[in-house]
Amino acid sequence: MPFVSDSYHSPKLELRRVNHREVGVFATRAIRKGEVLTISGGVVVPRRKVWTLPRGFRRFCFYIEHGYYLAPSSRRRIGLGFYMNHSCAPNAGDQRGELALTAVALRAIRKGEEITCDYRPALDGDDTQYRPLLRFRCRCGSRRCAGLIRA
């Protein structure tokens, strides 16, 4: 699977099947806390444009702020950072544990462990432009699990 030049991912990561329907990002070697895992590049689009994209591609768009989302540059070349799955107790993200353009290891990660981030956006103030693209039941198993995720 090709990855785009406008995104970066650590050579310690790879895409693998999680089950028969899903893929995820996994560590191929041990990763230290604070290591940069991915830097997601793409195009910034307003919410109204995101809703015109094919449904399967919309799931790769994530909220930035003020009604804007980051989308991969191409449906055929999606950066590895866009494939990270959700967890309410993530091991990757920005320093607050949230989905970010630059994802770092929030703690030490073992070889073979899935890399996860928190899809729930941190909305600063009243961001009336925000509208979730995904709604799903979380099954992360964390004691802090939010249950229903609107991402």
Q: How many C-beta neighbours within 10 Å does residue 97 have?
A: 20
pLDDT at 28: 98
pLDDT at 38: 92
Q: Rounded distance, CA 88 to CA 134, Å?
A: 15
Tokens of 136: 């799903």
pLDDT at 100: 66
Q: Over its length of 151 residues, how does the chain's per-residue pLDDT go in tens digits?
A: 444 457 889 999 999 999 888 899 999 999 999 999 998 888 899 989 988 988 888 888 877 878 888 888 877 778 888 888 888 899 998 866 556 688 999 999 999 999 998 877 654 444 555 556 667 788 888 888 877 777 6
- Put simply, whether the predicted model's pTM sits higher than 0.95 gets the answer no
Residue spans of the domains in the chain: they are 8-150
Q: How many C-beta neighbours within 10 Å does residue 14 have?
A: 15
Instruction: From the options 3.40.50.2300, 3.40.50.11540, 2.170.270.10, 1.10.443.10, give the CATH code of 8-150.
Output: 2.170.270.10
Distances (CA, A) of 100 to 1, 78, 103, 121, 143: 23, 16, 6, 10, 23
